[in-house]
Amino acid sequence: MNADQEKEKEKELETATFAAGCFWGVEAIFKQVKGVVETAVGYTGSSTPDPNYRQVCTGITGHAEAVQIRFDPKVVSYEELLSLFWRMHDPTTPDRQGPDVGSQYRSAIFYHSEGQKAAADRSKQEFDRSGVYINPAVTEVVPATTFYPAEEYHQDYFEKQGGRGCHVLRK
């Protein structure tokens, strides 16, 4: 593929950003999806500039641990990614996923377009109607803000460490 073809292909990709607890497990699940071209773990959802892991862990920056995904909508739809998002964590627990507690572990969908916002709102309503959990989702559906990639040792963490993901998918 020449440089012009690569630029055209890049234009066809879309971006999605999700927070569903510890970003290592979220990334590990999304990386397995056909049509997901690239993932990055990082911090978003606050106006504090250039946060690092230690700062985010204190909760004082207001960032969420999140995964930013570049995907090919001809292969996997945003709605399919949303379906996976709802199944990989408990979106009814505020600021907590399993043993991880703090605002950085909140459930959030950071939309990049009005179409994504509408799809996220619909999917949240569908989740609440599904009765999977007694309580409704506390998931934020908010505009995407600056995404700060996490430190390199966090990227592809389970691949580098030889471990397996900490998130479990519900059917």
Residues 6+ apart with CB under 8 A from 113: none
- Residue 146 is given by DSSP the state -
The CA distance from 140 to 156, in Å, is 25
Could you list the active site residues? 22
The closest of 79, 163, 75 to 127, measured between CA atoms, is 79
Residue 54 backbone dihedrals phi, psi, to 5 degrees:
-60, -45
Residue 20 backbone dihedrals phi, psi, to 5 degrees:
-145, 45
Please say whether the beta carbons of 18 and 66 come within 8 A.
Answer: yes
Q: Cα 85 from chain centroid?
A: 7
Please say whether the beta carbons of 63 and 44 come within 8 A.
Answer: yes
